[in-house]
Each structure stands twice: as C-alpha cells, then as structure tokens.
Amino acid sequence: MKRKMAAAGAVLAVALTLGACGGHPGAETMEAPGYPWTTTWEELTASLTEQGLPYTEEENKIKVEQAEFFDLPVYNLTFDCNTPTGELQGVLWNLDTGDKEAMEKKLTAYLGDPVDSCRPTTFDTISEALSVHLASDYVSEDLICWHSAQPLSQTWDEEQRTRFQEGYVARQAENGVAFVDQPADTITVNGEETSRWYGQEAMDAWFENNWEVTVWLTKADEETWVVSFARVVSPF
C-alpha cells in the first residue's frame, strides 16, 4: 500500500545535484546524503527539529515516520547511533516497490555502479576455535550492493586492526573460544563448499573480505524494498 507523504514542510527533503560534484558524489565517503558518519545524536535531533520533522527516540536509534531521499518518498527512516562515540553507524529507510527502479538509478548516480559480487568473511558462531568462513554471494536480483572501494585491511590502520583483534579475541576467550592457528579447511554453506580459516589467518581474512561501509537495496516483501547504509564500527 502506498504511504502518503506528510505536508512538504514536515518532509525530509535531501537536495542533491548529482552532476554538480562530478562523477558520483557519494562514492568516496559512502554516506547517506545529508548525514555524514560524524553526525552525533545531538546534531541529528537538532537537524530534524529545524526541518520540522517529528521523530521518536529509542535506545541508540532515532526514527522518522515519513521522509524523502533523492526526491522519492520513503518511510520508517531509522538512524542508528550505536557507536562508542555516539556517531552514526547506520541509516535505513523503506520504500514502496513501485519506486524501486527509480531509487536504484538514484543510488547508482550517487554511489557508482553496484558490485557484481559480495562475499564477506563471517565469524563462525559455533566453534571451539576462532574461525571465519567465506559467505555465499549476497548479490541477487533481490539484493543490490555497493561497498567501500577498499577492504578494512586497507582502510583501517594497523592500530585499529590490532585493537579490534585483541578485543574480539579476548571476548571470544571469555566464551571458551580459543585463538589457535591451524590449517584452513572447507565448510558447506547453503549447499556450497567454501573456505574456512583459523587463528591469525581468520583475522586476516576477515579484514581482507569486509568493508567499512556497505549499502544495500534489498527486497523485503512484494510491497517493500529497504535501503541501508551501514558502517563497521569497532566496539573496542
């Protein structure tokens, strides 16, 4: 069912001139238009208030019922500020299926072409030894993906990677998961055999096959698609 938009004065309008910056204006930062990743909770609520947009606050989240992005109506706009600094970690909104093609074109103009394949490494949740495996390809006709040009191994410096690794390994040790080096093997995921790594090789593979920012355009159901700008933020 189509969601009727509120009056123009109470609608979030993100004004973008896509050609003005040359190329794809959002490709470098991978930020939701109008909302830098450095935006704090206080700055966000002040901006929404200035625009006359009603919002609700939940734990680590701010929600707006109706809005616009790229001159298209969206709803259930959610800002996720669940980071140690209180800055943005994610921006998500829903749109009607009838606006999906137009939204895809706008996102492509803003971010560049979507990737042909997205296979991040995922930490195994049931294992006595810390390990990761290569996920099945996420990209399909129902899931379109953009991500940072370089993986975390290139965009996080050595100090950031070391801090994350030490924190994650310590947390897993508390749950009885050992950090040990052992030969890589394979695991079957969704009927497909894929690689699995352990110990330091696992951490290296995780940094090499994950990206600081990923943007999804995903089919939720026959009536709804979801756009999600998500940033990896270390909790350590």
Tens digits of per-residue pLDDT, 139-194?
A: 999 999 999 999 999 999 999 999 999 999 999 999 999 999 999 999 898 888 99
* 11: confidence class by pLDDT, cuts 50, 70, 90: very low
* 2: confidence class by pLDDT, cuts 50, 70, 90: very low
The pLDDT tens digits for 85-143 are: 788 999 999 999 999 999 999 999 999 999 999 999 999 978 789 999 999 999 999 99
Phi, psi for 182 (deg, rounded to 5): -155, 160
* 177-204 b/e (C-beta count within 10 Å ≥ 16 → b): bebeeeeeeeeeeeeeebebbbbebbbb
| 15-24, 46-55, 198-207: least confident range | 15-24
**How far is C-alpha 119 from the geometric centre of its chain's CA atoms?**
14
Q: Where are the alpha helices (DSSP H) in 156-226?
A: 158-174, 199-208
| 16-25, 37-46, 94-103: least confident range | 16-25
pTM: 0.85
CA distance 193 to 159: 34
pLDDT for the residue 52 = 84
Alpha carbons within 13 A on the beta-carbon side of 215: 27
CA angle 199, 155, 179 (to 5 degrees): 10
